[in-house]
Amino acid sequence: MTKGVDVFQIEIRVSDLEGAMAFYGGTFEWGIYRAAPNYALVDTGRMPVVGILRDPRLPLGISPLMLVDDCVAMVNKAKDLGGRVFITFAEIAGAGAFTAAVDPWGNQLFFWQPYLEGRPKPDHEPINPFVFVEIATPNLDKATKYYNDLLGWSFWNTPFSPNYAIAEGNGLKRGIGIYGGGPNASGIVCYTQVKSLEETIRKVQTAGGQVVVPPEDFLGEGRYIICADPAGNRIGAIEPAR
C-alpha cells in the first residue's frame, strides 16, 4: 500500500494573537512560545506541529498543513482533480514555502514544503495533542476518491457510522475522517485528545469560548465535543473510551 501524505502541522489563524495564546494555553495547558511578532508555536509533545498565526491576508480558521516535496505541483494537482487554487505560492524565509487549494466542496487545503531536513522530535509526555482531522463533504464516495488521488490516503468505511470513512495514520494518531453530510456539507475540524470532556468544557467556557456541539459518541471509541474559540474558530476534542 502506498503511504499517504502526512499532516505535518495544524495552523490556527486568529485576529488577536495575544488573546488566542491566552485561550489555548488556558484551555489545553499547552506551552506556547512567541516565535515572531505575528506567530506563536505550541508544544503539545506530539506531532503534528501546532502554530498560531495572525495574518490579515488569510481567513480565520484551523487547517492541517500537508508535508510535500513540491507545494506548487501539489496545488496544481488539487486543481486538476476538480479543486481550485487559493494561494499560488508563498515563502517563509529560510523555513519553507506553502500553497493552498480549495477542494470541490469548499474545504481549504494547505501544502507545506520545508527547506530544511528533519522534523521536530517532541521529548515529553503529550499534552492534549491533535490526533484526528475530519473533513465534511456532500458526497462520501467522490471525496474519498479525491483525497486518495491527491494525497494517497486509503480510506475504509466504518461499520458503526453510515456515510463515514477513515484513513488511519497519515501523521495523526487517529488519522483522517471524511463525513458525507447533506448537500451543503463543508468544513474541516481538527481534534485534540483530552482526558476529560467535562473539564475541557469548563476551561473553554472560562477562557471565553463556547461549546457548539455537546458531548456525543465518537465513532464507537469514546466521546467528543466541538467548541469555538473567541474568534469563532471551531476545534474538536476527543475523550478516549476508558
Distance CA 53, CA 38 (A): 6
CA 75 to mean position of chain CA atoms: 18
Residue 171 amino acid letter = G
Order the strands of the 61-67 sheet from edge to edge: 31-36, 39-43, 49-53, 7-13, 61-67, 108-114, 96-102, 84-92
Give the pLDDT of residue 119: 66
Q: pTM (2 decimals)?
A: 0.94
Asked if the bond preceding 48 is cis, omega within 30° of 0, the reply is yes
Sketch out the chain's domains with CATH numbers: 7-114 (3.10.180.10), 130-240 (3.10.180.10)
Which ranges of the chain does DSSP label H, i.e. alpha helix? Answer: 17-28, 71-80, 140-151, 197-206
Q: H/E element holding 18?
A: helix 17-28
Give the pLDDT of residue 158: 84
Residue among 192, 229, 235 nearest 208 (CA): 229
Where the chain has pLDDT below 50, the residues are 1-2
Q: CA-CA distances (angstroms) from residue 98 to 35, 40, 112, 218?
A: 18, 18, 5, 32
pLDDT in tens, 45-67: 999 999 999 999 889 999 999 99
Give the pLDDT of residue 242: 79
Give the pLDDT of residue 122: 67
Give the pLDDT of residue 1: 39
- Other C-beta atoms closer than 10 Å to the C-beta of 173 total 16
- The residue written with cell numbers 476508558 in the block is 242
Which ranges of 81-206 does DSSP label H, i.e. alpha helix? Answer: 140-151, 197-206
Q: Across the strands, what pairs with 87?
A: 100
